[in-house]
Amino acid sequence: MDPMEPIDQAGGAPQPLPLQLELPSEKRAPAPTEQEARRPRRRAGGGGLRWLVRIATVLAALAVLAAAAVVWLLPWYVKERCIAEAAAHGVVLEVGSVSIAANGFQLHDAVATSAALPGASAKAAEVDVVTVGLHPDVMTVRRAELTLAGPWSTMDAALSSWRASSSGGQGGGWTPRAVVLDESRLVWPAPFAENARIEASNVHFDGTWGSATAPVHAGSDNVVVGVPGGKLGPWRVDADRSAGAWRVRVALDPGVPDTSTLLVVRDAAGATTVDAEVPRSPLSRLGIPPALLGLKGNIQADLDAHYVPMGPQRAEVTAKGGVYGIEAGLPVPLDVSWALSASGAPASGLDVQKSRLGAGPLVGELTGTVKPFDDGFRVDLAWKAGPVPCTAFDKPLAEGDPFDIAYQLRQLAGAAGLVKGDVSASGRLTFDSRDLGASRVEFLPAVGCRVSLFGG
């Protein structure tokens, strides 16, 4: 009997050994200790979760870097590019700061000057730039302070030369397609005369910047012109320029802008026409203080004047109008009216011919010259009238007028032939739009009126 074979305790036959359930290569894991049992178990796939966390961390870091680039680096880059591009176009640009917007960017506290435009400068608290494809498309400047200096003809020529130059206002990846200026203020000393000064508020400007011949519009509804002794205006002024031609329209009565107007037009060939149309209106409504002209009373005026070039060697001027209600120490207010015609070569001056001026009953011939210039004009006129009887200046007594004993005595004396003498007058006018201080108006009456009670 095999000694390893178990014996049946009941004395029966030997029984087989129990079945071996555990494979030889397997080992039973020891029971975990109490400390190990308390540790949290790791879920299946824990390595993939760690990678997701790492990727999210990297993306967040990139987002922070991108935000930092937008907040700090991109504004700095835009500022430097704007300054560099302006310098390439002959403009010195100073920028306080730059902010990035959804459709472009904004320049803050910007100042621009250019050696090509001496004396000109622009200051703006805010400049909005709309971009298309990372390139500036429309630049809008609001509430800017603009300063120009010198005659408008010089400034216009300098601006045209700069825009047409290779390093001027054309081209460049950072040159905007259009420029808009709004709600701004302009100060312009000596625009057409040394002793004149333009101040304009609510200035608007818009232009296409594609070429030197692109259209440009500028305007203001509150233009005041400072002259020796006072101010003229406010007037509304609109200016347009396109393809070498320009047009300036002045509304002397902004409240009714289509009635009292001055229009100056120059074509691309350099020919200039001038048209002034003013219906009878109070001088105060036309922006002309009567005291500035040395006049008193409720002064009214009208004007219809035209300057037309008839070719390179000839031009014509026609004008008619009047000033009414002048208080000149006479029994009645004095009305002055005129009709003028002049023609000739602009280079030598236009001769005034067949022209007359009337001051009350005094009517006489006007003589002189009208001389046009590229930046203005000069008028020199002389006038002589009379003599006329003194009784021609007496005021008829209208219905409802109070009884005037002095008037009645004069009428009786006149009817009896006792009013003797006559009145004559002469005058001169000098007006130069380029030098307002040189303007002169002289009116020299010669009064020889007397009442002769005893036929003397």
Q: Is the peptide bond before 389 cis (omega within 30 degrees of 0)?
A: no
The span from the CA of 308 to the CA of 273, in Å, is 5
Which of these ranges, 119-133, 202-216, 236-250, has the smallest mean pLDDT?
202-216
Q: What is the pLDDT of residue 168?
A: 67
Q: What is the pLDDT of residue 235?
A: 97
pLDDT of 70 > 90? The answer is no
Q: What is the pLDDT of residue 316?
A: 97
Which of these ranges, 74-88, 304-318, 344-358, has the smallest mean pLDDT?
74-88
Whether the Cβ atoms of residue 150 and residue 118 lie closer than 8 Å to each other: yes
Q: What is the pLDDT of residue 54?
A: 67
Q: What is the DSSP letter of 24?
A: T
Whether the Cβ atoms of residue 106 and residue 96 lie closer than 8 Å to each other: no
Of the two residues 422 and 273, the one the predictor is more confident about is: 273
Give the predicted TM-score (pTM) of the model.
0.76
Residue 199 has which token pair? 């101040």
The span from the CA of 147 to the CA of 184, in Å, is 11
Q: What is the pLDDT of residue 248?
A: 95
Q: What is the pLDDT of residue 174?
A: 62
Whether the Cβ atoms of residue 366 and residue 355 lie closer than 8 Å to each other: yes
The span from the CA of 442 to the CA of 439, in Å, is 10
pLDDT of 75 > 70? The answer is yes
Q: What is the pLDDT of residue 125?
A: 93
Q: What is the pLDDT of residue 369?
A: 96
What is the arithmetic mean of pLDDT over 250-257?
92
The span from the CA of 327 to the CA of 313, in Å, is 43
> Which of 180, 171, 99 minimizes the C-alpha distance to 139?
180
Of the two residues 332 and 444, the one the predictor is more confident about is: 444
Q: For residue range 159-175, what is the model confidence (pLDDT) as tens digits?
A: 878 877 777 655 555 67
pLDDT of 434 > 90? The answer is no
Q: What is the pLDDT of residue 9?
A: 47
Q: What is the pLDDT of residue 154?
A: 87
pLDDT of 52 > 80? The answer is no
pLDDT-derived band at 43 (thresholds 50, 70, 90) equals: low
Q: What is the pLDDT of residue 19?
A: 39
What DSSP string describes 55-118? HHHHHHHHHHHHHHIIIIIHHHHHHHHHHHHHHHTTEEEEEEEEEEETTEEEEEEEEEEETTST
Q: What is the pLDDT of residue 194?
A: 83
Q: For residue range 171-219, what is the model confidence (pLDDT) as tens digits?
A: 555 678 889 999 999 999 999 888 899 999 999 999 887 666 678 899 9
Phi and psi at residue 57, to the nearest 5°: -65, -45
